Structure 1
Amino acid sequence: MLVELSIENLGIIESARLTFDNGFTVFTGETGAGKTMLVEAINLVCGQRAETTVIRDGSEEAHVEARFVRATQDGEEELILARTIHREGRSRAYINGRMATVSALAELGQELVDIHGQHGHQRLLAAAAQRDSLDAYARIDVSPLRRARDEVVNIEALLAALGGDEKSRAREIDLLTYQCEEIESARIVSATEDEELSQEEDLLADVVRHRESLWQATEQLLGEGGATETTGQASRGIAGISSMAEMDVRLRGVLAELEDIGLTIRAQAEQIEEDPERLEHIRQRRQALRDLQRKYGDSLADVIAFGAETRERLNELLGYSERVEELQQQREVALAALRREQKVVGEARRSAAPKLAKAIEKRLKELAMPHATVQVSVGDATTDLAGDSVVILLAANPGSAPAPLSKVASGGELARVMLSLRLVLTSDPATMVFDEVDAGIGGAAAIAVASSLRELGGAHQVLAVTHLAQVAASAHHQVVVSKKVERGKTFGSAQILAHQDRIPEIARMLSGGIADESALAHAGDLLHKLGAAPTEKVTKKPRGA
């Protein structure tokens, strides 16, 4: 149940704070006073889309906060939902003082409040809304049906991913086979094979020059007059000088290193031999690797990865028959499960449809539609096993054949059908908000709608924007919204009326300020006959509050 609502800089309302009780509460006031802004505030804290145009002129942001109380297994739980809309388009949401996503706010708001805008009853024209109403009335659990449908869809997606028709698969298999054979027959040693072969090719391509260079280096290091000989002479020359002992040690180290380098180079020179066959093999191998890179990747690593992916896809296609057979078996099982769930749901819907029709029809008679006939049509079991095609048919007048709501219902009739559904579907959220549900009706129909809203307020907390005095007089509580202009700016305000203050407001709704005395008398009479006496209390808590 909504307990408190705080509004800052929303529309023409600079600041307002309202507390609510259970039962039926109406919002009244002159056109343009800001009644709909109260509904907009509730919309915002329930996660509905926010437009920056609702921010008060001259303000950078609008802020709305609402306190709810709902029943839990351990008693009652208090929830505080808040929303801030910035003029730059940013929106912030809070749940119990902690930052939250707008989607989380919307999910929680959907559990707490059922909001019907000025054209909310138009949603009844949608087939999905009519089907959902039947499911809610009969308490039909369609989640197993949804899961069964999802399973069939998933399996069919897997079948589609295996490939197209047989000819397409054959063409793909031929291509993949060729690619796999070409890559695998190359027997790539590693991702660095080409670099290693390049080094060996350089060596073999200039073997004579390399060998001569190595022998020359060997001679310069180890030969007569070479580096090792002159270094040895220098070491022997300072060997007897005590002050040069450290230098002598270092020279001997250099001499040993030079001798080791010289011997290593000589060993390399002795091993180098001309091998034109090996050189030609390396060149052909490198060309083959370059051809693979030109087709399948910028590097050998890319070629190896492409080959692995191609082999995996080829194996998948070659095992197509086995995989298809496996998936077909799964599909048959899933379809059988789907048909079972469709049958269960379809039977439940067809069984409940006449009962829902009678319940709506009974309520419509109470809403000044005494001759209304209602049928709830469910799809034929032979072509629509689950009964997904649900259509509410209405004949508002005697002698008329029932037809879909979209073809026969006026705005006022549609609003009353919607209200009838709300009265029938008692499992709806504890708080219901109606924005001008009484639009397009008057006279006896207005009194009937007013009485029904009051009755609905016995099981739920009902908040409604209205221009009808009959509806206002039927409410347990009344909030008047007004506006005034000060220093060139418009300020909206909202306040809960005491019982004695309701009569002048209802009189204004009746006469618009004309014939005040008779309007006041009429307002008092309406309040006495339709509304609660000053001492009457609504003691029954809303469902779920």
Structure 2
Amino acid sequence: MLIELSVRDLGVIADLQLVIGPGMTVLTGETGAGKTLVVDAIELLVGGRADPVLVRPGADEARVDGRFVVPEPADGSADEDGGPRPGDEIVLSRVVPRSGRSRAYVDGRPATVAELARWGRRLVDLHGQHAHQSLLGAAVQRATLDRFGGVDLGPLHAARARVAELDAALAALGGDERARARETDLHRFQVEELDAAAITGPDEDDELAAEEDVLADAVAHREAGAAAVEALTGDGGAGDPLGVAVAALADRSPYRELEQRLRAVVAEVTDVAAEVRGVAEAIDPDPDRLAQIRERRQLLRDLRRKYGETLEDVIAYHREAAERLAELESHDARAAELDAERRTALAELAAVEAEVGTLRRTAAPDLARAIEERLADLEMARARVVVAVGDDDPGDDVELRLAANPGSDPQALAKVASGGELARAMLAIRLVLTSGPPTLVFDEVDAGIGGEAAVAVGRALADLAPGHQVLVVTHLPQVAACADHQVSVAKREVDGTTVSEARLLTSDERVLELSRMLSGNTGSEAAREHAAELLASAERSRR
């Protein structure tokens, strides 16, 4: 709902602050006073075209701000971008400079006009000679028919989602036969190469490096071992002086502990010599084995260059490539399975689409008759409405058409020439559906009517007020009398410049304004009595 509207330097409006309540509010005033500029201001807030000609003479730019209460989304969803939630307040702003591009803001944050329009579709519907009219959209007209006919689209959405899911699964298998064949050949070559390599584990290269180090210098290793054994156990080696030392200290009590330590050293030297001899004798110079190790290590290096930084990465790639190869080789079987599921899903979708199409075609003439009945109350008794539904199931091509006069062919609502006729058609549709954005704005809805028809239009607009905030620009006292609130828009001259002002009227001021609308002046006693009677009659009809 629109709570507050601020307009500055727009047309003849210098500075307007308007607090708007719930229910039905009418804007009245002399022709040219600026009533329609208020509608233009709201249209700018919801993404309408910004024309620099609207900027008030002498001003650099026009600015419009609107404070709204965010409604529940029509589809029950919620915004996921952290923005305002249902029940929160949101401020939409639009700045129109005399030259350059217009600027848009949401809660003071720069925004695109498209973002304003997105909020506009949720907040406001303008009916009259304005581009922003949600009921002119094909999707909204289709939803209108579905809502009227109680068409459940859940099964249709589920059936379409299932077909889309199967299409995605088939696409993931690889729909291009040549590309699939190339990928299969590549993975088969890679898997065979890695199978043949038979990597024993992530540490295989480290183990081979150690063995290569031994074999690469085998003779020198053996000679070093023999020299060490000779130095430890040969004549004149380390063992002889150690034995002499042990014998010298034997059975001498002061050296008993040191003797034991020397004997341990002799035993350790003997053990080390034996181990060195064993290692040296085990080293077998084997040029063939050395060549094999070097060839194997080169292979492992080549595999790491192609498949991963480490052997662990290569092993992981081997596993993934084998799994993908299995998928590709089983493609035909899986594709046949998915094709069968898709055929079943398409058959189910066709059945659901046929059912939805039947429901839409059945509901279409009923909706047309309901709208025609409402139009009859709005001085369009001879209007003809057609709700056209496409021949192809599920009948997604829905179009509301109107023939305002006998003998004319029904045309799409967007092509209806008369703004008043279009506005009344929109009003009739709203009366049938009683849904839509929380704020409905009607401009020129009373064009070309009067008398009882004007009273009917006023009452029809008032019927919308319990479920919507209704703003109406009108010249007719019969319509104005049906409102809960009345705003007078008047222009006056300030320092040689014409400016418009708007203010909410009291009950007594409403009588004077209605008398002016009835007789052209506020001094007529008869006009004031008639105005009071109109207000009283409207009040009685609301009870």
Change (3 A) 1:176 1:245: same
Aligned Cα root-mean-square deviation (Å): 5.2
Q: Is the 8 A contact 2:5 2:18 kept in 1?
A: yes
Change (3 A) 1:366 1:85: closer
Structure 2 CA distance for aligned equivalents of residues 236 and 8 of structure 1: 117
For normalisation by structure 1, the TM-score amounts to: 0.70
Question: What are the superposed Cα offsets for residues 59-85 of structure 1, whole Å, 9 maximum, x if unpaired?
Answer: xxx99585999xxxxxxxxx8423478
User: Is residue 347 of structure 1 aligned with residue 358 of structure 2?
Assistant: yes
Q: Is the 8 A contact 1:179 1:310 kept in 2?
A: yes
Question: What are the superposed Cα offsets for residues 252-309 of structure 1, whole Å, 9 maximum, x if unpaired?
Answer: 9888877766654444333222121211111121222223233333332332222222
- Secondary structure in 1 aligned to 2:89? strand
Matches for 1:355-374 after TM superposition, within 5 Å: 355-374=366-385
Q: Which residue of 2 aligns with 1:115?
A: 124
Once the two structures are TM-superposed, the CA of residue 467 in structure 1 deviates from its matched residue by 5.5
Q: Which residue of 2 aligns with 1:444?
A: 449
Q: Is the 8 A contact 2:400 2:412 kept in 1?
A: yes
Change (3 A) 1:178 1:116: same
Matches for 1:250-261 after TM superposition, within 5 Å: none
Larger radius of gyration: 2
Once the two structures are TM-superposed, the CA of residue 407 in structure 1 deviates from its matched residue by 3.3
- Residue 171 of structure 1 is aligned with which of 182, 186, 191? 182
Q: Which residue of 2 aligns with 1:378?
A: 389
- Secondary structure in 1 aligned to 2:298? helix
Once the two structures are TM-superposed, the CA of residue 507 in structure 1 deviates from its matched residue by 6.9
Structure 1 CA distance for aligned equivalents of residues 525 and 250 of structure 2: 133
Change (3 A) 1:206 1:370: same
- Which consecutive unaligned segments of at least 5 residues does structure 2 have? 48-59, 73-85, 94-102, 110-114, 493-499
- Secondary structure in 2 aligned to 1:401? coil
Once the two structures are TM-superposed, the CA of residue 453 in structure 1 deviates from its matched residue by 0.9
Once the two structures are TM-superposed, the CA of residue 365 in structure 1 deviates from its matched residue by 2.7
Give the counterpart letter for 2:443 in structure 1.
D
For normalisation by structure 2, the TM-score amounts to: 0.70
Structure 1 CA distance for aligned equivalents of residues 538 and 250 of structure 2: 127
Structure 1 CA distance for aligned equivalents of residues 526 and 457 of structure 2: 22
- Residue 321 of structure 2 is aligned with which of 304, 310, 323? 310
- Residue 393 of structure 1 is aligned with which of 401, 404, 407? 401
Structure 1 CA distance for aligned equivalents of residues 458 and 225 of structure 2: 111
Matches for 1:89-100 after TM superposition, within 5 Å: none
Q: Which residue of 2 aligns with 1:499?
A: 507
Structure 1 CA distance for aligned equivalents of residues 542 and 433 of structure 2: 21
Matches for 1:163-242 after TM superposition, within 5 Å: 163-216=174-227, 226=238
Matches for 1:68-83 after TM superposition, within 5 Å: 80-83=87-90
User: Is residue 517 of structure 1 aligned with residue 522 of structure 2?
Assistant: yes
Question: What are the superposed Cα offsets for residues 192-229 of structure 1, whole Å, 9 maximum, x if unpaired?
Answer: 32232222222211222333344455566677564996
Q: Which residue of 2 aligns with 1:463?
A: 470
Question: What are the superposed Cα offsets for residues 15-53 of structure 1, whole Å, 9 maximum, x if unpaired?
Answer: 987664xx4234678649995699699989xxxxxxxxx
Change (3 A) 1:443 1:40: closer
Once the two structures are TM-superposed, the CA of residue 240 in structure 1 deviates from its matched residue by 7.9
Q: Which residue of 2 aligns with 1:48?
A: none
Structure 1 CA distance for aligned equivalents of residues 8 and 258 of structure 2: 93
Once the two structures are TM-superposed, the CA of residue 153 in structure 1 deviates from its matched residue by 1.3
Instruction: Provide the identity percentage.
Output: 40
Q: Which residue of 2 aligns with 1:141?
A: 152
Structure 2 CA distance for aligned equivalents of residues 43 and 310 of structure 1: 55
Structure 2 CA distance for aligned equivalents of residues 292 and 85 of structure 1: 62
Q: Is the 8 A contact 2:142 2:396 kept in 1?
A: yes
- Secondary structure in 2 aligned to 1:162? helix
Structure 1 CA distance for aligned equivalents of residues 474 and 540 of structure 2: 24
Q: Which residue of 2 aligns with 1:542?
A: none
Q: Is the 8 A contact 1:476 1:538 kept in 2?
A: no
Once the two structures are TM-superposed, the CA of residue 516 in structure 1 deviates from its matched residue by 4.6
Change (3 A) 1:353 1:157: same
Once the two structures are TM-superposed, the CA of residue 424 in structure 1 deviates from its matched residue by 0.5
- Residue 341 of structure 2 is aligned with which of 330, 340, 358? 330
Question: What are the superposed Cα offsets for residues 160-193 of structure 1, whole Å, 9 maximum, x if unpaired?
Answer: 2212244443333333222221111211112232
Give the counterpart letter for 1:501 in structure 2.
E
- Secondary structure in 1 aligned to 2:174? coil
- Secondary structure in 2 aligned to 1:374? strand
- Secondary structure in 2 aligned to 1:394? strand
